[in-house]
Amino acid sequence: MKDNLNLFTADLHIHTCLSPCAELEMSPKEIVKKIKKLKIDIVAITDHNSSLNIQGVRDASRGLDFKLFYGMEITTREEVHLLGYFYTLKAINDFQKFLDSHLENTDNPKIFEEQVIANGKDEVLGFCKKNLYMPIDLSIEQTIDSIHSFKGIAIPAHIDRMGFGIVGQLGFIKETLKIDGIECYDRNSEIAKSYLKRYPTLTSSDAHKLDDIGKRITIFKMKDRSFKEFKFALRGEKGRRILFL
């Protein structure tokens, strides 16, 4: 018997006040409030090189009707932004431990905002001292392999943005690169158009302030909002897929 498939909206690239380039207003409670208002089905928190605020957003979203994916936006040695999505909080926290050994201890310079660690009640738990905007010391290939070894999904972020996008930094996407999809800002951009056919393509907000949340979304056709279904949709398996509007 065929599964009953539904449509789900997703914004899988949202920063919190932990990211040095994000606004302080991106606190767990405020982000959750905004998602609830917009009625987005699935969201992912993706701070730069850190998962420290995911617990806070998770606590703030308790009892609410949206699914939270655990993500991170990693800056590789080539200064390419790469999104990693993980099944469980444990998986991303284990990945974080691994990543910490590859991120140099440089102080967060004054030009950036404070990197605020907050709990589900929007209370400040502390400040991340490492400069999260710095690249790790692994190549993009090594980072992808590491994400996969923690059973995660690896997707280059905003490939159509010159700074920190894979095409801007590295000129093109090698066919042998083991990515699970791509993310673009605009499906009609020249760069996006040249890779759309080769990879499943997400469009997400990359929100750094509250008003940006849900500004760009991806629509999934799948059975439910689980991470497993998300994987099926990326691979185009069992009728699951990403819908284009």
Partner 1 sequence: MKLKKIVDKLKLKVLSGKEYLDREVKGGYSGDMLSDVLANSKEGDIWLTVQVHPNIVAVSSMKGHCAVLITNCKEVDKETLEKAEEEKVVILSTKLDSFSCIKEIVKLMKDEGQS
Residue ranges in contact with partner 1 by CB under 8 A: 77-79, 139-140, 162-163, 167-172, 174
Residues contacting residue 194 through CB under 8 Å, at least 6 positions apart: none
Nearest to 18 by CA among 8, 5, 31: 31
CA 236 – CA 118 distance, rounded (Å):
37
CA 159 – CA 100 distance, rounded (Å):
25
Alpha helices in the chain (DSSP H): 28-38, 54-60, 89-100, 140-149, 166-170, 190-195, 227-235
Least distance from partner 1 to the Cβ atom of residue 165, Å: 9
Nearer to partner 1, 88 or 139 (CB): 139
Nearer to partner 1, 147 or 207 (CB): 147
Least distance from partner 1 to the Cβ atom of residue 212, Å: 25
Is the distance from CB of 90 to CB of 163 less than 8 angstroms? Answer: no
Nearer to partner 1, 17 or 74 (CB): 74
Least distance from partner 1 to the Cβ atom of residue 175, Å: 12
DSSP 233: H
**Residue 52 dihedral angles phi and psi, to the nearest 5°:** -60, -25
Nearer to partner 1, 5 or 170 (CB): 170
Nearer to partner 1, 18 or 182 (CB): 182
Least distance from partner 1 to the Cβ atom of residue 196, Å: 18
Least distance from partner 1 to the Cβ atom of residue 161, Å: 11
Structure tokens at 73: 């936006």
